[in-house]
Amino acid sequence: MKVLITGGAGFLGTRLAREILKRRQLADESVDELVLADLFPPPTSLLADPRVRASTGALIEQCTALRDESFDAVFHLAAAVSAECEADFDLGLRSNLDSTRALLDALRAAGNVPRFTFASSLAVFGSDPCLPLPPVVHDDTLPTPQSSYGIQKFMCEQLVSDYTRKGFIDGRSARLMTVVVRPGRPNGAASGFLSAMVREPLNGQDTVCPVSPETKVALASPERAMEGLIAVAEASRDSLCGRTAVNLPALTVSVGVMLDALAQVAGEAVRRRVRFEPDPVIARIVGGWPAAFESIRARRLGLDPDTDFISIVRQYLADQALELPSRP
């Protein structure tokens, strides 16, 4: 099996690549080649695996060459993120909508109908004046995105659905929750502070939270996000129950409870490194996203949410091999 991951040098892409390489198979088939497409090359530790090949450059520019390759499975993770899409409309359209269509057309031209898993987002949901967002999002809740990023993700879901209906790909879309904790430098996502308020204090740095402690969010650990993407990729068409995107499970938690968990794991001194400075733009974007999901279709695929935020903090410490700060 030959697998393509777009965004393969990013946080989720490299984690997904390592998971697939560790499993050695996908959908009961052996993975012989893994192509990681991104603006930048993936870590050298991944390239050391003889099964891995990098394809570097803007995705939309790579798609012409991809027409000459036949992939058995594709994970489409590459995207511009929420806040940068809101700040730069053309960037969002080019990176999200135009690149996705170019990729789908390349796969259509190749003609071998690969399994195609699209990483969508909870940002497809929002509160419309004529259709307010319900307290809990169900599998049949109508998406009404309220940001450029959410609208672009929803348009891509529909493209994936239609290319599947026409028989060009075997497509499926998985709506990811906000993935926390992301290591490394902050990205341009409106939700980036949710990782920063754990990551930076644990690394001895101060950080800012732009929303109130009462703000509730829908989260998933990196481990749960990977489980969800792979489960959706491996699912049969019958078990997916149609072409509509699958809402992955979410842990519903407030910012205040997240900070309580941080203090319980690492101490009050670490928690005090987070200060509150309201940002109306970020608060509007994040506050417009749903915070609670009942994901029955995902549960039928064997997926469950994280149990609590303390376990997510501990998972991050273990993944990064960090030692807790000494307490007075």
Catalytic residue numbers, as ranges: 149
Does residue 54 sit in helix, strand or coil? strand
Separation CA 93–CA 306 (nearest Å): 33
Q: What is the DSSP string of 133-179?
A: PPSSEETTPPP---SHHHHHHHHHHHHHHHHHHTTS-EEEEEEE-EE
Q: DSSP letter at 244?
A: S
Contacts 24+ apart (CB under 8 A), 153-157: 153/79, 153/96, 153/120, 153/121, 153/123, 153/124, 154/120, 154/124, 155/97, 156/96, 156/97, 156/100, 156/118, 156/120, 157/118, 157/120, 157/124, 157/245
Helix (H) or strand (E) holding 62: helix 59-66
Separation CA 202–CA 262 (nearest Å): 9
* 216: its two tokens: 């509730």
Separation CA 185–CA 40 (nearest Å): 15
Separation CA 160–CA 113 (nearest Å): 12
Q: Which residues pair with 131 in a beta bridge?
A: 128
* 260: its two tokens: 């309580």
* 75: its two tokens: 């994970």
Does residue 326 sit in helix, strand or coil? coil
Close Cβ partners of 73 (under 8 Å, ≥ 6 residues apart): 1, 2, 3, 4, 26, 27, 114, 115, 116, 117, 233
